[in-house]
Chain A
Amino acid sequence: MSLRGTAAVIGLAERAPQRYTGNETNLDLLSGVAVEAMADAGIDRAEVDGLLVHPIGGLPGFVPATVAEFVGLRPRFAEVVDLGGATGAGMVWRAAAAIGAGMCTTCLCLTGTRRRRRRASPRTSGAEPSSTVHQPRSNPPTRDRSPHAEFDAPYGLIGANVGYALLATRYAHEYELSDAQRAKVAVDQRRNANANPAAIFHDQPLTIDDVLGSEVICEPLHMLEIVMPAAGAAALVVTAADRVVDAAQPPAWLLGAGEAVTHSSLAQAPDLGETGIGVAARAAFSMAGVGPSEIGLASLYDCYTIMVLLTLEEAGFCKAGEAGAFVESHDLSYAGDFPLNSHGGQLSFGQAGMAGGMSHVTEAVRQIQGRGGERQVQGLEVAYAHGNGGIIAEQVGLVFGAGR
């Protein structure tokens, strides 16, 4: 069964990313955007019979049931998607698949993460933090096995900076890639953010010199090539083809989808050129019956500049090894010859936790619907959105069209 034309996104809601959310809980954020997305689509909650959420802090389980109760839903299809930064994109095809299989007709896809100011940790007398407190914050102690805590974390492969720096080093070894070429991605995306009032860096222009002059965090990656953690939430309403006609907004048809999960530890990842990025993208293009050259907007997961370059070539927008030259020779702004991450990307829009990955989907939908405002990509017919989780571990590609 192909999902092509089975369902369309007819409504969305997105909070502007912010550094910190006040006292709002994850449940508050999710139920807030759920209500706003249903209003945007012009539907009543009684019409929603599908629900997709992700693991959230504070709840060890039972997330779909809890969110459903809080929003006032009684879904016939409810599940958790746990694909890191690919979660939002992964929700969209799952919603369409559930619709196509007759398990529901209208599905809410909810993402959101709160972020609170951390209390400063008490100072200790030694220069080093106590070495008895060794468990990385991201890994709560567990009695069962954690290969990550056992074989990656003791070496400092914690969080994502180190992992993407390892990818950037390997890429530059196999191909040619300059620091300035990576920086160009951040700079062009910032121009998009400067046209997006919701972007966290809306008011701040950026130059290649700014990027290259920023602190090197993990060689070769500079501070301004790395997403800044933020908080926020985003929601989509996906509905069956026969319900689209009644919708308040124009549809963004799901034309194709692909997914690939290849590893957990980066040391066990496929070689560059053979990662899940291309597997997911090729499946999405194949289902949609379109090629990369027909894409009018590429909305590509950009936790780091290097991730955009890897995706551009593995998804087939350029040849292997040519991503650096490709970004250098194209204007990547919304008005340019290769519109990329017209919302600013997470680098400039903000990485609002689990809603960060979803922002690539909401932007593709918004642009297909013609609701891009100042940054609208003119004459857009087909857009590609890509989600990426972990350290290139989870990949989802989606093709959206204005027509079915």
Chain B
Amino acid sequence: MSARPIPPTSELTEPYWDAARRGELVVQRCERCGQRPFPPRAHCPGCGGPSLSWAPVSGRGTVHSYTVAHRPPHPVFAAQLPLVVAIVELEEGPRMVTNLVDCDPADLEVGMAVEARFEPIDDADMVLPVFTPTRRPGSTGTA
């Protein structure tokens, strides 16, 4: 559980948040050209196609970039410092803003493998997809 700005959802994005509540990461896929746009939207930015279907993704990705924030970007994060904000590139292509959790900030690297976790938000019936470094086989650490 963590305190956060609560995401204002819309009818179009509900399937994304419903999936997160089930512990699943889904992104849209264009039925015409195959592009996977993120964040969710009504029309494909690649071809203009109006048919975007929801499809589960692996939840695996790599760190495109990250920063360790030592001051809260918003007061609601004050008790969560240091806060690791990252951009993760999913195996399936799209990049998303996220947090890296359950990790030692000193061990983080651009390009490292990460996998999705699902974190309930305080005082809201919502679950937020976050990421954590993928444990290498044979590793004994807690990632």
Contacts and interface: CB of A to CB of B under 8 A. Distances in A.
Contacts of B19: none
B23 to A, nearest CB: 17
B27 to A, nearest CB: 11
A218 B67 CA distance: 6
A265 B83 CA distance: 19
Interface in A165-179: 165-170, 173
A125 interface: no
Interface residues of B, number: 46
B102 interface: no
B112 to A, nearest CB: 11
A157 B96 contact: no
Nearest to B130: A155
Interface string A114-154: 00000000000001110111111100011001110111111
B87 A149 contact: no
A165 B67 contact: yes
A169 B5 contact: no
Interface string B96-123: 1111000001000011000000000111
B106 to A, nearest CB: 10
A219 B105 CA distance: 10
B39 A151 contact: yes
A157 B73 contact: yes
A151 B75 CA distance: 18
Interface residues of A, number: 46
Interface in B2-33: 3-10, 12-13
B70 A216 contact: yes
A142 B42 CA distance: 19
Contact of A156 (B83, B87, B95, B124): B83
A265 B128 CA distance: 18
B110 A153 contact: no
A102 to B, nearest CB: 35
Contacts of B79: 127-128
Given A128-B3, A134-B76, A162 B95 contact: no
A217 interface: yes
A267 B95 contact: yes
B66 A265 contact: no
Contacts of B13: 145, 150
B65 interface: yes
A136 B78 CA distance: 13
A161 B72 CA distance: 10
B136 interface: no
Given A128-B79, A145-B10, A147-B39, A153 B67 contact: no
Given A129-B78, A151-B39, A267-B38, A218 B69 contact: yes
A170 B73 CA distance: 20
B4 to A, nearest CB: 5
B3 A218 contact: no
A151 B7 contact: yes
A166 B66 contact: yes
Contacts of B73: 156-159, 161-162
Contacts of A157: 73, 85, 97
Contacts of B128: 154-155
A204 interface: no
Contact of B5 (A149, A162, A219, A220): A149
Given A127-B79, A133-B76, A165-B67, A150 B39 contact: yes
Nearest to A172: B110
Interface in A194-228: 215-221
B9 A150 contact: yes
Contacts of A170: 64-65, 110
A268 B95 contact: yes
A151 B67 contact: no
A221 B121 CA distance: 29
A266 interface: yes
B123 A132 contact: yes
A212 to B, nearest CB: 15
Nearest to A156: B73
Contacts of A162: 67, 69, 73, 85
Given A135-B5, A151-B7, A267-B95, A219 B68 contact: yes
5 contacts: A127-B78, A150-B8, A155-B97, A215-B71, A218-B69
Interface of A: 127-129, 131-137, 141-142, 145-147, 149-159, 161-162, 165-170, 173, 215-221, 265-268
Given A135-B6, A167-B65, 5 more contacts: A127-B78, A131-B4, A137-B74, A156-B74, A169-B110
Sorted from nearest, which 10 A-B pairs have the closest CB atoms? A165-B67, A131-B3, A170-B65, A173-B110, A134-B6, A156-B73, A131-B122, A134-B5, A219-B68, A158-B73
